[in-house]
Every structure is written in structure tokens, then in C-alpha cells.
Amino acid sequence: MTEQTDSESRKLLRRLKESLAEDSAGQARLDHITQIIAEEMRSEVCSIYLFRDAETLELCATKGLNPESVHQTRMRLGEGLVGRAARDGRVVNEADAPSAKGYRYMPETGEEVFSSFCGVPIQRLGDKLGVLVVQSREARAFSDDEIYALEVVAMVLAEMTELGAFVGEGEALQALHTNPMMFRGGIGQEGVAEGHVWLHEPRVVVTNPVADDPEAEQKRLHDAVDQLRVSVDDMLKSVGEDPVDKDHRDVLEAYRMFANSRSWMRRMEEDIAAGLSAEAAVEKEQSTARRRLGQASDAYLRERLQDLDDLSNRLLRILTGQGNDTGAEIPDDPILIARNIGPAELLDYGRGKLKGIVLEQGSVGSHAAIVARAWAIPLIVHAEGRVTSEALNGDHVMIDGDQGLVHLRPDDTVVSAFRDKIAMQAKAQERYTGLRDLPAEAKCGTRIALHMNAGLIAELPSLEGSGAEGVGLFRTELQFLARSKVPQRAELAGIYSRVLDAAGDKRVNFRTLDIGSDKVLPYMKREDEPNPALGWRAIRVGLDKKGVMRMQLQALIRASKGRPLMVMFPFIAQFEEFKAARQHLFDEIERERKLGHVLPDHVEVGAMLETPSLAFAPRQFFEMADFISIGGNDLKQFFFAADRENERVRKRYDTLNVSYLSFIEQIAKRCDETNTPVSFCGEDAGRPVEAMCFAAMGLRSLSMRPASIGPVKHLIRRVDLTEARAVIDEARECGEQSVRGRVMDWLRGLDPA
């Protein structure tokens, strides 16, 4: 960039800053800005298009086009050259615009006399806000220096838009953060909740996008980067030398590499020289990196984008002083809204504090979903739109985890309907409470054992209150996910001992570390795998990283203190894996015996059946296993070859599909042949109709979240499983794909209870 262009950029930004400071209405300010840009860029036309909604751009101000087309000309995202720039997030620079592919002629604007066109996206950290356009009669391509100047201006316009500089009373443009909005997302955990927004990481607001003193801003940037580098170095020093900490160190080394990147620093210095403040320069580079790397197909590059995002946010908070502690008080009924959140941060909020969670990212199988289920609060994942941008701390919000809906600042009609639904669910829960001490015994006399899933000590009080007969699955990975480094053996032994203390004489099945796929330890390097769900995970990690498995098994043995110990290994795909894992456990028991430590009263070793292959294992496997738990979440996705994180395919396949139920029946029969106890563990076990069908197919034990035990028990006590099985068989004989229709018709014909 030349010194002349550099000076012109600062001059242009200085005039924009003056316009921002003027006491004028939003439309007048917007009109003035287009005039300033046209004059400084020596172009005959300058226009600003802003999003009216997520799919519609509107001409909001212009210098050079027909003034009557303002707020009248609209186009869809991707339509015309303007729509293309907005959709792709890239500059569109055409010397002969009317002949360019995708050009849309808008006669009301009078733009047909202008040949050249340059459209620059107005965006902020990946959020599309609009497009800045300059045009001229002369057929020419705009130079790199001119485009750079426009990108700097677009950055300032994005900040001004976010700050509400273009809205006012009676204005055509509506203010942000005021209107009712609805967002759709994936269902991470069912349930409904009403409360007020609490932003996990309040968005940094850049109130000074333009700076008058480049030298002072350069110093501020360098001081902040120095502080950032020191913090990264301190984190690295805190990591131990143990080999198990190697992955954590690798992640922090990547952070240090970015923090010391000369090219990253140079680009921000150039933006400051052009007239931006240090904060705006950081955010401009962050937005550019998101656009450049966000579309990369390479998983490694996308992961590096997350690293750069995190460092940029840290740097912005250093520069602005806007840390997580903003002075705002958390509301009494907080609903957490975040882009994403790690388990340690989520657990810091504590059980009973949050009413619900909304994530722009996340997944139905993530650790956030596991914690939400443990806390029995609704969770929405992959919330579409800009919920973290639109929401403000304290906004009224209602979330419907049953439908995957978020109502932000809802109107009175939505509020009334929503509260009616909450009241109905509360009334139903009162009915289930009365069943707590009664068995889940069907009218035919068949008794089903109902157990609860857990992963936190805080969940154990639900063991008594829910009526669960024991813990069918205790997820041990949460103690690993919630820490920045590998937990110590003594620490784990203490946790497992308290779990057994809380359970009393009730059974607890501990599942060993189930990591990989979408559950990645913060100190473990993520493997670049084309299909992580089918990759290096669970028992495969345990058998390869024997040190971690050995440490966990020792902790479990020492925690038992003479009590029964039930251990099951996750994601067993073949008999040999189970034999190897089982032998590891017995080897550790023998070592503990030689050390003179108290051993468990007796030991049971089980396996999670999560792959279809294990259902066809040799009979010896079923004879050797003390118990088997069907991991329904994984088994279902592998059975149907449908990724449960992919909404486009996940919902195509019904749990009550005839083939799937027949497969469950086959597993139950093989276990019956060897008298091997078998249970179904997963989200489907907590859905009453599905649970009843599993029982009809021969399963006599189910494990689910505590809140589901009441509804499941209520239905089982109402039905005759022999009749239910006859309905299922009839559907199978008729060649129907799913038994759901016939089962629901049959249930509707039963006497109400």
C-alpha cells in the first residue's frame, strides 16, 4: 500500500468518524456517508445495501443512483452482483458489469449507464450485514489499493451498523436487538424453559473503529500482543512433562505459533496505518481469516481457524478491557446462549443454576449435551441465524427443546401458548412422582428394571428421587473433559468412591473412558480423521494409550474399598478387544493385591454393544461377559449408516423400524441363551413408546436420564407387553417399514390412566 493511499484512507476514515459523531438521524447519517465515500473514492456512485432479513438485501442509501429507489430496491442473497458479494463474502470487481455473469438489471435505480462495479461485503466476524458498492461510467477494474481502502471502510460500516448508528425513531431501518425473533436448531435435550438471556461470552463491542494517532494505536497493539504472548507462555509452563500431557502441549504450541506470527502482526499494523483503531484492525483480520479458512475442506485448517479465533478474542478483550466480567449480574432464571462451550466452563455454572442452553454450534452427542441431560434442562444446538449477535444479556427468551425452537423477545401470543405448555408438563410430572416407589411392572406381570444414566456426582441425588433401581451407566469421561490436564489417579479414586457412597447398596456400572469422535479432551490433539465416529475412539484409544487406561482402572479398584465393582468397556467391536480390555482389569487387580490394597468384594466386567459386529460375536463372548449394555445412540447410527449429527439423514430412520427392532430382538435372544444380563442404554430408552417396544422385544432392563423414568414407568404399567408384541408382529408380517403407526393406534385405544 502506498503512502499516498495510506493518507487517503486515513482522511476518508476521519471524515466517517466525524459523520458518526454528528447528531443526525440514522438515514441522514447513512446518506452523508455514501456522499463522503463517493467523493473520496472519486467514483460517481456509492451505495450501501443492508440486510432486511437473513435472505434479503435492501438498498438503504446511495449517492449517484436514483434516490427514489432507496428502500424500494431489494434482492435475494446471491441475486445479482450485490447478492453474490454478500453470499460469498468476497469482493466482486467487474470492469464491465452489465456483461458480467449473474448481473441483474434494476431499472428503477438508473444504474445502466455505469460500467464498472466493485462490491465489498460488510461483515463482522462471519455475520453478513450488507454490501458497500462503488460504480463509475468508465469501464475499469478498481485497483488493489482502492479495494483495500473499501475493505477498511466496510469494516467501519460494520461496527457502525452493530452500534445502531443508522437507526432512529421513525426511520426505515429498524434497530437491532429490539424485535421478536425465532431461531430453529437441533434438539440436544428435550424440555421447555422460560428465562432471561445470559451470554457466555458477551460480544466485544468496538466503540472506536477509527483512530487519529496511528503510532499510539501501534503501541497499544504491540503491548496487547506482548501480554497475550506472556499468557500463552504461562499456560505452556503449567503443563507437566508427563507424556500424557503431550497433546495439551501441542495445542498450546499452536497457540504460541499464531501469537508470534509476523504475517498476522504485519496485516494488523497495515490496517492501523490505514486509519483503523487497534481493536478494529484485530477484528478485521479475524473476519478475513474466517472468510478465508471457514470454507476450507481441510479439517486441519478449520481447526487452526478455531485457534486463531480464540487468540483474536483474547486479544480483543485485552485491548478493550471487556472481559467476561462485564459488571452485568446473572439473572435468577438464566438461559445460557453461546457459540459453543466446553464442559469445564459449563460445569462452572453449577447444577440447578441454568434453566436452558442455546448453542450456535455443538452437537447432540457433545459433552454439553451430556451435561444438559444430566441436569435435565433443555438444550438447542446448531441454532440457525445470529442468536449470539441478536441476544443481549437480560432479554426475555423461551426455548422449546421438544421442537428445537428459540423465541427471543417473544410477543404476548407466543408467551401465552408457551406458558400453557410448561404448565401441562409440570402437571404430568406431579403424576409421575406418585409412581416413584412402584415397580415398572406391566399388566402381564413382566417387570422391567429401570436404571439411570449419570456422569456427575451432583446427579446421584436423582437416584432416590427418580425411583431408579441403580446407575446403568456412569460416564467417566466428564471428569477428563472438564479439566485442562489429565486428572490424577488419587483424584479419580476419590470421585469414584463418592459415587459409590452416594449409590449405597444400588448398582453402579462404570464405563471406562469414552473419548474420540465428538468428545475430544482439551489437552489431547485432535486426530485428523475423515470419519471420526468410525475412527480412533473409546476402547481403541484405551488399548493404544495403556497408561491412561491403567491409571483409570487402578482408580476404580481403589475406590471400591471392598465393595462390588462393575466396569464396562465402550465401543467393543470384536471379541478380542473385550478379552484384552478385561485382562487389563484383572492384571491391575493382581497388582493391587500384591501391593496389599483392599480389593473389590467381587468384580463384574461388561461391554457396550454399539457396533452391529458385536451382535454376531462368538458365543464365548456372551458367556465371558458378565453383562452387556446396548449403546443405542451409536448402534442406531451404525445400523442405518446415518450420522446422528446430520439432521438431513438422522431423522429419516425410525427407532421403531421393523429391521431395527428385529435386530434388538436378536441381541436379546443371544443374551438369553447364555443367561447374560442385557440392558438398553441411550436416548431412545427414555422415550416411553420406544421403551415399551424394547420391552416387548425381550429386553428387561433399560437405562435413561432420571427425568424419563417416571414417564416410561407410567406407560409400562398401563400395558400388556404380550399384546404389544402381537401388534408389533402384525406390523412385521404385513411388511410395514415401521411399527410406530400400529403401536400408536393401539395405545390410543387403551383405557386412559
3-162 and 434-748 have identical folds: no
Helices 546-560 & 575-594 angle (0-180, nearest 10):
60
Rounded distance, CA 42 to CA 135, Å? 10
Ordered DSSP codes for 536-552: S-THHHHHHSHHHHHHH
Rounded distance, CA 317 to CA 683, Å? 39
Is 52 in contact with 40 (CB distance < 8 Å)?
no
- Mean pLDDT for the stretch of residues 399-413: 86
Is 625 in contact with 605 (CB distance < 8 Å)?
yes
Percent of the chain with pLDDT over 90: 39
Q: Which CATH architecture has domain 214-320?
A: Orthogonal Bundle (1.10)
pLDDT tens-place string over residues 472-525: 999 888 777 666 567 788 989 999 999 999 999 999 999 998 876 555 555 556
Per-residue pLDDT at 212: 79
Percent of the chain with pLDDT over 70: 84
pLDDT tens-place string over residues 426-459: 777 777 887 888 999 999 999 999 999 988 776 7
Task: Out of 4-18, 111-125, 301-315, give the one with best mean pLDDT.
Answer: 111-125
pLDDT tens-place string over residues 555-564: 999 999 999 9
| Spans of all domains in the chain | 3-162, 181-199+330-426, 214-320, 434-748
Rounded distance, CA 742 to CA 727, Å? 7
**CATH annotation of 3-162:** 3.30.450.40
Burial class (CB in 10 A: 0-12, 13-18, 19+), 305: middle
Asked whether residue 631 carries a pLDDT value surpassing 90, the answer given is yes
- Mean pLDDT for the stretch of residues 212-241: 82
- Mean pLDDT for the stretch of residues 710-737: 95
**Hey, what CATH class is 434-748 in?**
alpha beta
Is 71 in contact with 58 (CB distance < 8 Å)?
yes
Indicate the pTM of the whole model: 0.63
Identity of the residue numbered 511:
R
C-alpha cell belonging to residue 512: 471406562
Fold category of 181-199+330-426 in CATH: Glucose Oxidase; domain 1 (3.50.30)
